[in-house]
Structure 1
């Protein structure tokens, strides 16, 4: 049995940092190295959480045959796996009563769009919403997306079982596994508004949209009064 070598304290690793930038003050460098130690701790915590997630006991077996409408007709949840053993289903907010797709969901899906070939080297990926497939394909075309696969849960049983029992127009991120022919639920994002910290928008962790990670590296941060839009053209 292999044992992991003890980790060097983050502050000691940060002390090895040789990065320096023009005209920076000693005060800046001291604060930046202290922040670097926290960033190292964050990296380690992300790794610990990911390892804990991978070690979850087997989830519940999928209870029924879910049927979706895709671009080329009806498919089942099993079909969405293709030749992969793991499937991510992102349920986005575009219900039949919504005029346009959710801008926040669209921002995340736009980030996924360019990475589909990389993602599909390891796992299967599907985008699901409650609107009829014609609306989903129209919205996909409007964004010039060619790689994301969209599916309609028009009947709604998948959404009610794995996203919202009330069939609310909310997002969901669900991971399924297929082992020896059996499909099981592996993990879902479960953070909601009741779990938000004071002054924060409800969100999970880690946030899957790189937009927010980029903004977190800036002095302005995410802000409290700005959100992605569907269209930035001026009227």
Structure 2
């Protein structure tokens, strides 16, 4: 593998910034420049992690061609790839025991719906839940979602093996998974593994980078993401 080009230090790059905002003090600019250096380092670390992820050895072969129930009828896992060789799946916490789905999942999927026309240019995507697909489609219509491919797992083993749900506990577990197809073989490429066991004190067991746009926006604000606030399905009129 060719050696990576030597990069200019993040501190030096930060000092090259020529942006100054109205009324800022010298102390603000000094602190902001130091923060900018850290932001540059974070960007570089994200790139290094993404490259390390892409270099993963081949994952395990998917044990069966699972059958899901979509809005237009049954479809096997292999069919969800469409024209792509990569399939991203999200397990939505919307099991048959729920009248309404998980608000956090719903917030995430609402953002994904707007991005889906662009995402589907590069990879296939499927939102999977244990509720009947008719229930999922009805909720999507209520929210105004137009682009999310929705599928019911129909109680198959998919949720147990790839979302680590306990079939006897009637539980929902959110999960991201990426599958890759080469020839006629489908392998698991990557799955999120951050949970309560990997969480730092006082933090949610979120992944990194955080895929929820709302948290990324709030992380840029003075109050941050607030430990006692989470998205809701509905908000009272203000």
Q: Same fold (TM over 0.5)?
A: yes
Contact 2:128 2:152 in 1 (8 A): yes
Aligned length: 235
Alignment partner of 1:58 is 2:58: yes
Task: Output the CA distance in 2 between the equivalents of 1:156 and 1:25.
Answer: 60
Question: TM-score under structure 2 normalisation?
Answer: 0.96
1:49-99 Cα offsets, whole Å, 9 max, x none, are: 000000000000111120100001110000100010000000010011112
Secondary structure of the structure 1 residue equivalent to 2:125 = strand
Contact 2:127 2:148 in 1 (8 A): yes
The alpha-carbon deviation at position 233 of structure 1 amounts to 4.2
Partner of 2:120 in structure 1? Answer: 120
Partner of 2:140 in structure 1? Answer: 140
Unaligned 5+ segments in structure 2 are none
Contact 2:89 2:128 in 1 (8 A): yes
Partner of 1:228 in structure 2? Answer: 231
Contact 2:165 2:172 in 1 (8 A): no
Task: Output the CA distance in 2 between the equivalents of 1:74 and 1:3.
Answer: 48
The alpha-carbon deviation at position 17 of structure 1 amounts to 1.0
Partner of 2:89 in structure 1? Answer: 89
Task: Output the CA distance in 1 between the equivalents of 2:3 and 2:42.
Answer: 22
In the TM superposition, 1:15-164 aligns within 5 A as: 15-164=15-164
Secondary structure of the structure 2 residue equivalent to 1:115 = helix
Task: Output the CA distance in 2 between the equivalents of 1:220 and 1:151.
Answer: 37
Q: Give me the CA root mean square deviation.
A: 1.3
Task: Output the CA distance in 2 between the equivalents of 1:3 and 1:60.
Answer: 30
Task: Output the CA distance in 2 between the equivalents of 1:106 and 1:181.
Answer: 34
From 189, 193, 208, the equivalent of 1:190 is 193
Partner of 2:204 in structure 1? Answer: 201
1:182-205 Cα offsets, whole Å, 9 max, x none, are: 100000000001111111112111
Task: Output the CA distance in 1 between the equivalents of 2:2 and 2:132.
Answer: 52
Higher mean Cα deviation, 167-176 or 42-51? 167-176
Unaligned 5+ segments in structure 1 are none
From 175, 178, 198, the equivalent of 1:175 is 178
The alpha-carbon deviation at position 2 of structure 1 amounts to 4.5
